């Protein structure tokens, strides 16, 4: 995967996470922001939680990174399977 694709995907998931953070009153928004929420909860329990802008940056940053990695992993797995199927068919 090209680094440009990964950075573009990170930016798009970051925008989605930022929008989700401001719309926490519905389930899809909560699902998007959940990874950041879990990290922030862990930081709170270990007494390292950030407040204010740090809270928002943690929530958005972690969520964007996790969703980017999930999407890129799925794309790589599909690419691998397609190549494997093509090799077996040839």
CB atoms under 10 Å from CB of 31, counted, come to: 12
**Residue 34, C-beta contacts closer than 8 angstroms, at least 6 positions apart:** 63
**Calpha distance 53→89 (Å, rounded):** 54
**Calpha distance 78→90 (Å, rounded):** 18
Contact 36, 45 (CB under 8 A): no
Contact 67, 10 (CB under 8 A): no
> How confident is the model over 1-37, as pLDDT tens digits?
588 999 999 999 999 999 999 998 899 999 999 999 9
The whole-model pTM stands at: 0.88
């Amino acid at each position: 995967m090209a680094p440009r694709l990964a950075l573009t995907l990170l930016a798009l998931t970051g925008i989605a996470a930022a929008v989700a953070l401001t719309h926490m009153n519905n389930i899809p928004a909560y699902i998007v922001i959940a990874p950041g929420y879990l990290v922030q909860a862990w930081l709170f329990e270990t007494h390292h939680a950030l407040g204010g802008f740090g809270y928002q940056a943690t929530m958005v940053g972690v969520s964007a990174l996790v969703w980017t990695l999930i999407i890129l992993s799925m794309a790589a797995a599909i690419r691998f399977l397609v190549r494997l199927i093509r090799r077996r068919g040839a």
